[in-house]
Structure 1
Amino acid sequence: MEYVQERVTTLHALTDHRPDAPTGRAAVVVPMTEREYGTLAAERVLTALETVAPARVIVPLRAPAERVAPFVRWLDGFDVDVETLWCGGPRLSDLLRDHGLDGSRGKGRDVWLGLGRALGSEYVVVHDADTKTYSPAFVDRLLFPLARGHEFSKGYYARVEDGSLYGRLFRLFFRPLVRAIADDAEGDEEVVAYLDAFRYALAGEFAATSDLVSRLRLQRGWGLEVGTLGEAFEHAGFADSAQVDLGRYEHDHRSVDGPTGLADMSRAVGAATLRAVENAGVSVAYDTLASRYREAAADLIRGYETDAAFNGLAFDREDERAQVETYADALAPPGPDTRLPAWRDAPISPADVAEAASTDIADVTDSATAAPAAERATAEDVRRRRNGHRTPEDTAPDTAPGDET
């Protein structure tokens, strides 16, 4: 346990205290995909939000048409004001295309749509729905520094699960990449110091004032988290940023390889990181970046190995080194800027989004004249679990794949 301050205000969970925070003036954005339907992790998050009582909960949903109606019915089973925002409906897709906002779809685009709808609240909180250790205190902790005058706050936590160190993309890619950039950067290096100040820069949990949210340009996909940090540096800087300890945090892991693995994610994270520093006026020496990254990663691996041994954790040095070599392939100039516009500059309004999405949902809901028995059972399971009853799913493994950053 420690209480060291970084250049951004750093709030530590030194006790189990749940600080007072303006939850009733906040909207909570919880992006979901069809894999979250009926899972224990998502149910835990939504049940906890019932006790938080935010002004609104907005769920940007990425799912095929046939899954939308049962998903909406499931969300309606919770005692919280949920606005489901189907991100793939035909009218919403047409609206985005007609205004030049179509393109690749991913978590970042979904969150961007949700943030637009959240702007009616004073504060906005964003977090994922696959957290196995979710606590309602997370929302209070993220909001607390905003009530004290900060504009942006980000969560951090240690990824220690199953007797091993996780958080591999952060530990083995992002952190050494930032150090490699700093070793030979030219220009205003404050942005590099800002990125390095966050203890878990790839955490998906953050909160911000609505004014700041309206200024953010978001990455469309996996570069969302670090891209948001780059925008926060521009609009909030060190003085108005904070990071808060969220304590114990577990969610599912991704493999390194495969079409949605950490190797693919590293390319998006790398591009977002390099774009953030270049946009802030830093010149990156790309000809030596890979070698400097490998050196920085090797130094960190030695530290991780010692730390793991100190805590009696398993550690596979060769596997960590192999991951570094895989991630090194992601080091290249960021390419075209495909970020979505800040909402204050967008050619559409959040009301336009709401109208299109609600009509899309109404169409698919009306076409599903009656919920199949299995879907009705899922809604009943929500109510039964809340009353302390166990269901077959309570003992079933949660096998839905999750982010591991």
Structure 2
Amino acid sequence: MEYVQERIATLHEFGGGDGPDGTLAREAAAAVAETSIVVPMTAREYESPAAERVLVELEQLVPAPAAVFVPVRADPDQIGPFRKWLTSFALPIRVLWCTAPGVDALLSDAGLGGDFGKGRDVWLALGPAADRGEAVVVHDADARSYEAEHVHRLLAPLTTNFDFSKGYYARVERGRLYGRLFRLFYEPLVRTVADAHDAPIVDYLGAFRYALAGEFAATAALARRLRTPRAWGLEVGTLGDAYEVAGFRGTAQVDLGRHEHDHRDVAGDTGLEGMSREVGAALLCVLEEHGVDPAYETLPERYRAVGEELIDQYRVDAAFNGLEYDPANERDQLERYAESIAPPTDDARLPRWTDAPFEPTDVLEAARPWRERRVGSRSQD
């Protein structure tokens, strides 16, 4: 157990009972009714045990949330069964079909067509979610250890004078250290930049104990001001805008215990290697936007050196805890991720909802799954 504070407020779980039960936690529980929850899903989450657990846990929230928005990326033949499964839960669910032809047309007509991924899916839901609740909680659907209490914990800082809270947790399972993209890419890259730059944005990005966690909560006002990267840069891009809106004093991070997630392969565009390119581009874009020059000609080499130091530390920590650890495999990942470090190209972030060229209600209409189904099906979506 530890109780160290970072540059941002850090709310710990000290293990003194079944969970936090102080004033903030009680106020957070009461605030659920004014909260919208966003849970992005893709075809891989359809009827998966992890996604099922998330939805069953959310059914236990008392009072019920104002709305649960589920942006779904799925093919036309999948969205019908997907929607039927989602609406079988006792939740105020709004299904948004993110790949519906109407959504593509809406974005293209507004000059926002192009690449899509998790970031675009979440952005499509953020506007309607911010309109429906005073606060928005976003979390992934692949945590096999998810608990409804996580909603209360994320909301707790917002019941006082914070505008943004980020979840953090340990990624230790199956006798091994996970959280590889954070441990071996994000953390050494931020430390490398910090070695050469004394800049507030670098301190901010380095203050998060799990910066790539998909779990965060924000006031509706802050949620409307997020310029979301379209794919896997979502979490880093969110931090960049949270820094501008909330800053150090308005940001907190909250202990969510230990998480067990689904895992991805390392190699390839759909693995952690591909994700590192998008995460790296989003991170470097945030740094440049705040006046930091990463010195790209030497950055990969300096990153490797910092990464090697961390691998030595992970090795000792794993041995101390009796965990399996493969330094050679970790070094291989370090090399793969180093290839992702390059100046970012064009900024393809989606606009703040405060500047969006259409209304959240337009998204709700365009993303209705039943619009693309045959006559005879009815829905309240």
TM-score (norm 2): 0.94
Aligned counterparts of 2:272 and 2:102: Cα–Cα separation in 1: 33
Counterpart pick for 2:231 among 221, 225, 238: 221
Q: Which residue pairs with 1:314 in the alignment?
A: 324
Q: Secondary structure at the match of 1:78?
A: coil
Counterpart pick for 2:290 among 280, 288, 313: 280
Is 2:35 the partner of 1:26?
yes
For the Cα contact (< 8 Å) 2:167–2:213, is it kept in 1?
Answer: yes
Q: Which residue pairs with 2:370 in the alignment?
A: 362
Counterpart residue type for residue 23 of structure 1: V
Q: Which residue pairs with 2:149 in the alignment?
A: 137
Detail structure 1 runs of 4+ shifted over 6 Å in the superposition: none
Q: Secondary structure at the match of 1:366?
A: coil
Q: Secondary structure at the match of 2:136?
A: strand
For the Cα contact (< 8 Å) 1:68–1:364, is it kept in 2?
Answer: no
Q: Which residue pairs with 1:17 in the alignment?
A: 19
For the Cα contact (< 8 Å) 1:184–1:285, is it kept in 2?
Answer: no
Is 2:274 the partner of 1:264?
yes
Q: Aligned ranges for residues 60-209 of structure 1 at < 5 Å?
A: 60-120=71-131, 121-185=133-197, 189-209=199-219
Counterpart residue type for residue 45 of structure 2: E
For the Cα contact (< 8 Å) 2:38–2:70, is it kept in 1?
Answer: yes
Aligned counterparts of 1:241 and 1:170: Cα–Cα separation in 2: 20
Counterpart residue type for residue 198 of structure 1: F
- Displacement after TM superposition at 1:368 (Å): 7.3
- Displacement after TM superposition at 1:73 (Å): 1.1
Q: Secondary structure at the match of 1:208?
A: strand
- For residues 188-221 of structure 1, the C-alpha deviation after alignment (integer angstroms, 9 at most, x for no partner) is 6100010100000000000000000111100000
- Note the aligned Cα RMSD (angstroms): 1.3
Counterpart pick for 2:356 among 336, 340, 346: 346
Counterpart residue type for residue 152 of structure 1: F
Q: Secondary structure at the match of 1:51?
A: coil
Structure 1: state its 5+ residue gaps: 371-405
For the Cα contact (< 8 Å) 1:152–1:208, is it kept in 2?
Answer: yes
Query: Could you say if the C-alpha distance between residues 298 and 26 of structure 1 is closer, same or farther in structure 2, counting changes exceeding 3 Å?
Result: same
For the Cα contact (< 8 Å) 2:269–2:275, is it kept in 1?
Answer: no
For the Cα contact (< 8 Å) 1:36–1:129, is it kept in 2?
Answer: yes
Aligned counterparts of 1:157 and 1:223: Cα–Cα separation in 2: 19
Aligned counterparts of 1:165 and 1:51: Cα–Cα separation in 2: 31
Counterpart residue type for residue 320 of structure 1: E
Counterpart residue type for residue 63 of structure 1: A
For the Cα contact (< 8 Å) 1:151–1:208, is it kept in 2?
Answer: yes
- Displacement after TM superposition at 1:369 (Å): 5.9
Q: Which residue pairs with 1:42 in the alignment?
A: 51
| Number of aligned positions between the proteins | 366
Aligned counterparts of 1:209 and 1:170: Cα–Cα separation in 2: 26
- Displacement after TM superposition at 1:315 (Å): 0.6
TM-score (norm 1): 0.88
For the Cα contact (< 8 Å) 1:69–1:364, is it kept in 2?
Answer: no
Q: Secondary structure at the match of 1:247?
A: strand
Q: Secondary structure at the match of 2:121?
A: helix
For the Cα contact (< 8 Å) 1:69–1:368, is it kept in 2?
Answer: no
Aligned counterparts of 2:320 and 2:222: Cα–Cα separation in 1: 41
Query: Could you say if the C-alpha distance between residues 26 and 318 of structure 1 is closer, same or farther in structure 2, counting changes exceeding 3 Å?
Result: same
- For residues 151-172 of structure 1, the C-alpha deviation after alignment (integer angstroms, 9 at most, x for no partner) is 0000000100110000011000
Q: Secondary structure at the match of 1:119?
A: helix
Q: Aligned ranges for residues 247-262 of structure 1 at < 5 Å?
A: 247-262=257-272
- Displacement after TM superposition at 1:69 (Å): 1.2
- Displacement after TM superposition at 1:322 (Å): 1.1
For the Cα contact (< 8 Å) 1:290–1:331, is it kept in 2?
Answer: yes
Q: Secondary structure at the match of 1:246?
A: strand
- Displacement after TM superposition at 1:259 (Å): 2.6
Counterpart residue type for residue 42 of structure 1: A
Q: Which moved more, 1:35-44 or 1:56-65?
A: 35-44
Aligned counterparts of 1:337 and 1:369: Cα–Cα separation in 2: 41
- Displacement after TM superposition at 1:92 (Å): 1.6
- For residues 374-405 of structure 1, the C-alpha deviation after alignment (integer angstroms, 9 at most, x for no partner) is xxxxxxxxxxxxxxxxxxxxxxxxxxxxxxxx
